[in-house]
Chain A
Amino acid sequence: MVEKMAIEGLSGIPSLFPFQEKYLPREELLKKEIYPPIPLWCRENKDGDRMIWGKSIVEKLKDLRVQEVLVRKFSSDEITVSEAMILWIELEHPNEEWNSYRMKDFDLLPAPLQELVAEMKLDLKTALRVRNLPLGIIEILNPLLETLSYSQRRIFLRLFFEVVQRDLLDTREGVDLANQLVRSSNPLQELHRIRYPELHRLEQTYHATVDPVLKGTGIQVFPPPYFEGARFKVEFSFERGEQLKRKAQILQKLSETIDPVIEQLTHDTV
């Protein structure tokens, strides 16, 4: 049923899809309420309401100081994401190539990834990259993904996908890995270790040498990023000569053991 809604409440509702809208009726038509009602998806879960289409119309109406907007509300179970997209297409009639490519790409995604993209929790590019993950994996990972930032989520899913591809994990093995990571206290770090075992080994070797000497001293030693290069950096502060002397003594101690480790880290594998 079409109803009217105050524009203040509507303009704060985010769009469901990250697609650019071009359709905008003329001002005189908008003022006369001659436009398609704005479809709203009213979801009861914590993700909240979403505007399926019509953001550009709502913004224009706001500029025109129109107080109320025609809307058509859909309840949680009344429409799916795919149906919402069909509705978007029917209303927008897109003709720009890039927009129709994005929609075709979105349509390729399984439902769990569509949800993540639609809710702006994941970019379309990453979702496409990982879309062939075994069934059920995203659902298992969802609670974990909720705890991550946007960029961590992207990194996590890419790494997970690469491990599955590298190790040729079947569905059961993929599910096992997902469950293992969900149970982990630091899933992103653990996944990084699984994806980059050699790099992890270098990091462990480095820390095994440096940490016992430097722990609690206020001195930091930084290896070259990804052990690419051979320059290590030292950082510390001091207020008096005595402090400087103590730190120099600690560094002297480190200097006596670090050369073979540097050689191993930057030039040699074990």
Chain B
Amino acid sequence: MIQYKVPKRIYLTPEAKTLPAVQHALRILGHPTYQTVENPTEIPPEHQNQDTLFVTSYRGQTVHKCPGSRGHLCCNYLTIDLYLGCTLGCTYCIMKSYLNFSPLTVYADPSPSIQWIRALASQYPNRAIRIGSGETGDSLLLDPIFHLSRQLIEGVSDLPNVYLELKTKTTHVDHLLDIPMKGNTLIAFSLNAREIQEQEEGKSASIEERIAAALRAAEAGYNLAFHFDPIVRFPGWEEGYLYTIDRLKEVPSDRIRWISLGTLRFTGALRDRMEDRPYLFEEFVPCRDGKYRYLQPIRIQMYRWFLKELSAQTHAPIYLCMESVDVWKGVYGRLPMKMDSFRDIFNNIPCNAHS
């Protein structure tokens, strides 16, 4: 049984208290004390940090296009705001650059998002719509407490063109295994070299634990996805990542729906907030989107290596995240829009459903 640490402080908006997800969470946490606020600005400044949990219902548009990166190819991922913030403590996390002075936030009513997704799916019935809740926080870190993913899964499972992806660095899948209608839901795991997981990914689950959780999810009927992101260059990186890639043999390869690759990247603002970790003293250069990445030839070399090693394990499409046209050409020889396995993913889908 998972033991949950009650957050130091909990703030709720008035309407959130009656939501089933919040009732469930308060029960699981042993009915802790909380304070009521109308909006997060009422939380005292000294409590505006990730030791504070703020729970509310709905705050306007909750489904967005993944921001992607200027000048780089986008996989048209749509994101849902469920959990904003994360306490796993990865040293490279982009959220350090903008969420350090915000509480951990839960938008505990996914029904508007579900309606929005249903409308979009109906508007574009012949397009695959990929949507996930792991952009601004771990999809499953707090989910055993709030059970929001269950509502999402059940809300879209009948839509054949919707692929809901729940991305995590935890093993928190067991509360989802008994859902009867899973639709096209994928449980996705961020993966890394074991050395990077141990040294840079804070309180996240080990690689072995994540693979074991993936196997449980697959046996329960879920499809899987894996994201090697961020790929970090360090002495012995090939051996390090080979260990993780080898672990993929433990999951049924026909369950792996897609794999993405993304080398380490960061904005200048994030770099200023990061500790001086050894991996940050490699050579990084500014790219067209303002983010710093490894030199282009080095990235291409690394991606080619990953493609070769992963292709020996799986036939799942392996795509690049937030990469330039030139890198795509250097790795694959062509752009994703010209490749059958990626065409659906990389052709633009407007993010505006008629209500």
Residues of chain B within 8 A (CB-CB) of A267 are: 296-297, 300, 326, 330
**Complex contact B296–A165 (CB within 8 A):** no
Any chain A CB within 8 A of the CB of B301? Answer: yes
Any chain B CB within 8 A of the CB of A196? Answer: yes
A125 to B268, CA, bound (A): 13
Any chain A CB within 8 A of the CB of B287? Answer: yes
Residues of chain A within 8 A (CB-CB) of B285 are: 199, 225-226, 228
The residue from A162, A225, A227, A264 contacting B281, defined by CB atoms under 8 A apart: A162
Residue with the greatest number of chain B CB neighbours at <10 A, chosen from A165, A195, A196, A267:
A267
Residue with the greatest number of chain A CB neighbours at <10 A, chosen from B276, B278, B293, B297:
B297
Any chain B CB within 8 A of the CB of A269? Answer: yes
Residues of chain A within 8 A (CB-CB) of B295 are: 198-199, 202, 226-228
Residue of A nearest to B326 (CB): A230
Q: Interface of chain B, helix or strand or loop or mixed?
A: helix
Nearest-Cβ distance from residue A221 to partner chain B, whole angstroms: 18
The residue from A162, A196, A229 contacting B296, defined by CB atoms under 8 A apart: A229
Nearest-Cβ distance from residue A26 to partner chain B, whole angstroms: 32
**Complex contact A268–B283 (CB within 8 A):** no
**Complex contact B276–A228 (CB within 8 A):** no
Any chain B CB within 8 A of the CB of A118? Answer: no
Any chain B CB within 8 A of the CB of A166? Answer: yes
**Complex contact B296–A266 (CB within 8 A):** yes
Residue of B nearest to A231 (CB): B326
Residues of chain A within 8 A (CB-CB) of B181 are: none
Encode contact with A along B268-284: 1 for CB under 8 Å, 0 otherwise: 00001000101001010
Residue of A nearest to B294 (CB): A198
Chain A residues with a Cβ under 8 A of chain B: 125, 162, 165-166, 195-199, 202, 225-230, 264-269
- Pick 5 A–B contacts, CB within 8 A, sort by A: A166-B278, A197-B283, A227-B297, A229-B296, A269-B301
Question: Given known contacts A125-B272, A228-B296, A266-B326, what 16 new A-B pairs fall within 8 Å (CB)?
Answer: A165-B278, A166-B278, A198-B283, A202-B297, A225-B285, A225-B286, A226-B286, A226-B295, A226-B296, A227-B295, A228-B293, A228-B326, A230-B326, A264-B297, A266-B296, A268-B301
